[in-house]
Amino acid sequence: FASTASDSWQLVPDESGRLRLINTNPYDIPERESEVEPLFTPETDVIFRLFTRRNPAHGQVLQWNNPASVQNSNFVASHPTRFTIHGWNGGETSGLHANIRQNYLAVGDFNVIAVDWGAGAQTANYIAARNRVASVGDIISRMVNTLVSASGTSRNNIYLIGHSLGAHAAGNAGKLQNGQLNTIVGLDPAGPLFSLSDSDIMAPRDAQYTEAIFTNAGLLGFDLPLSDANFYPNGGRSQPGCGIDVSGNCAHSRAHELYAESVSTNIGFRATRCASHGEVVAGQCTPTGNANMGGQPSNQGRGVNGMFIVSTNGNSPFAQVDNTNWHLVPDSDGRLHLVNTNPYSLPDDSIVPNFVPEQDLIFRLFTRANPTTPQVLEFGNAGSITASNFNPAHPTRFTIHGWNSNGNDGMNTNIRDRYLSIGDYNVISVDWSAGAVNPNYIAARNAVGPAGSALASFIDQLVAAGASTDNMYVIGFSLGAHVAGNAGKGQNGRVNTVIALDPAGPLFSLGQPDAVSPADGRYVEMIMTNGGLLGSSTPMGQSTFTPNGGRTQPGCGTDIAGGCAHGRAPAYYAESITSSVPFRATRCASMQEVVEGNCTPSGPDANMGGEPSNYGRGVTGVYFLTTNDGAPFARG
């Protein structure tokens, strides 16, 4: 079959939650995909519907090039005006229009104008829709001009409120108004194919006051500050009450739900100002003030700026009545979660039904005598060990896969082949697919402890056959990293080395008894490549290596879902086993420095991965290094 750049294609949900397959590589977009579709003409296709207390449910159409349409409507120049702007694949019936409108009309006399650019947004071609935000903003700006000239209303009374792509359309309208509008609110501004250097991205100077509310930052929403004030409810990446929310759609939509409630709530979303965006990402906020998120009126004129975190309830009403009973706790992927003051506990989901680790784990042995055809070692059957090619005098290396995978996946075979190319090793692939292959991530996540405990018992059987934990490594990827940690715990930290390859982040928190930790082996090394999305962003080893900053990886393109960056951890480790060029890393003073991209060298350099490991070399702390964007990755 012909080769395709499959890593350029990603599933992205539109604002209705429907998954769309799109090409997200802005440097490799076929001409037919990047062209704006000719059927969308903003001057005629963007529809403005006015709602007031006199017509709260049935909109009156206003025309940007027809002043009489304004003069003959229920528009009142002295009343505040609020525009609402939907995102990709949205339109007249988008949820944010009705929700925000109803809350405004519940508290006073407003001109609420729903901007319907569905003729340009309702397309399977995300790139075409993304490229229309500037032209939509232009028509909104013209509509503002018509309102001002036809009625005498003031720009100081006008807010633009946009969700996702609509946030950038609002920003473009503000730009064309030379920043004269009172307020622009960006509700989880769209992230895919936007960068800070783009001329059509929402920006702080687009209005007298700009505010962004981030609820799915780094997936569907933009990840970096875009406004005067930037609010990150529950850490800004995932939202309580959304469950696993793999597509991010629930969290993405939460932005307009929170804003709508803020308009009419008597409680308010009181937020804490943090010293930096890096603190928000790391979940370590140094309080430097307070402000309300959203609200009516906005924060314009109150000197509100910077980065803020705020906790919410998991369901409507989202504003918290009594914040003293709840607080934000960062889980091990760096996301802030709203939890009770009781210790963090997982949902009461059972372990995978019928998963009995002692029976279901499969241990496949590979040696130089059988490099590709495994011998199965059976739990509780010493004869299967003695009758195999297992040599207790040779070093033993366990490889452990992650969620929805098995013992035959690429991570296992790649690392196995590397070891057997350089020496005599017992390489044992641990297949716990009976527990890992499950659409219920929570159930698979809850199986890491039992799987690790069973592996620890199997290690005892190898020791009884003459092997030593002195020359054993346990190497796990994603959820498998936590299985490795639990095996180390079951061995009371006697295993020589535990390697945690981008340990899974979702539903793992600091201090949880079944998360990989520094005490799980004599030496525990973590390699972080997608911290904060699929992987943990909190150091979990004695040493933690953060290639290219540990969050995204060069050569992965847009990588919306994080799968490419996540998979780089085992790729880097496999290469480190045989490479004559080391992955040389600089020790930083703290993880915070890595997050902020400002590493102060604070000790001897060290190599990431490698054979043998760093055990006994005094390697501890957080390390930064860069890699090439394709194999070979090591740069020395």
* DSSP labels, 218-281: TTTB--S--SSEEEEETTSSS-TTSTT-TT-HHHHHHHHHHHHHHHH-SS-EEEEEES-HHHHH
Q: Annotated catalytic residue: which of 69, 164, 509, 579?
A: 164
587 and 622 in contact (C-beta within 8 Å)?
yes
| Long-range Cβ contacts of 599-603 (<8 Å, 24+ apart) | 599/624
Neighbouring-strand partners of residue 574: none
Active site residue 206: no
CA distances from 561 to 198, 236, 281, 456 (A): 22, 16, 18, 33
DSSP state of 33: H
Choose, from 14, 116, 138, 188, the residue flagged as catalytic. Answer: 188
Of 252, 277, 401, 566, which is the active-site residue? 252
User: Of 530, 527, 523, 526, whose CA–CA distance to 551 is shortest?
Assistant: 530
Q: Which of 165, 80, 79 is nearest to 117 (CA)?
A: 165
In 303-462, which ranges are E strands? 306-310, 326-330, 336-340, 362-367, 370-377, 396-400, 426-431
- Written as six digits, the tokens of 542 are 């004695």
Strands 426-431 vs 362-367: parallel, antiparallel or unpaired: antiparallel
Whether 164 sits among the annotated catalytic residues: the reply is: yes
- Sheet of 426-431, strand order: 370-377, 362-367, 426-431, 396-400, 472-477, 497-501, 523-527, 543-547, 621-625, 584-588, 606-607
The first and second tokens of residue 50, run together, are 């006015």
Task: Tell me whether residue 253 is one of the annotated catalytic residues.
Answer: no
Q: Which residues are catalytic?
A: 164, 188, 252
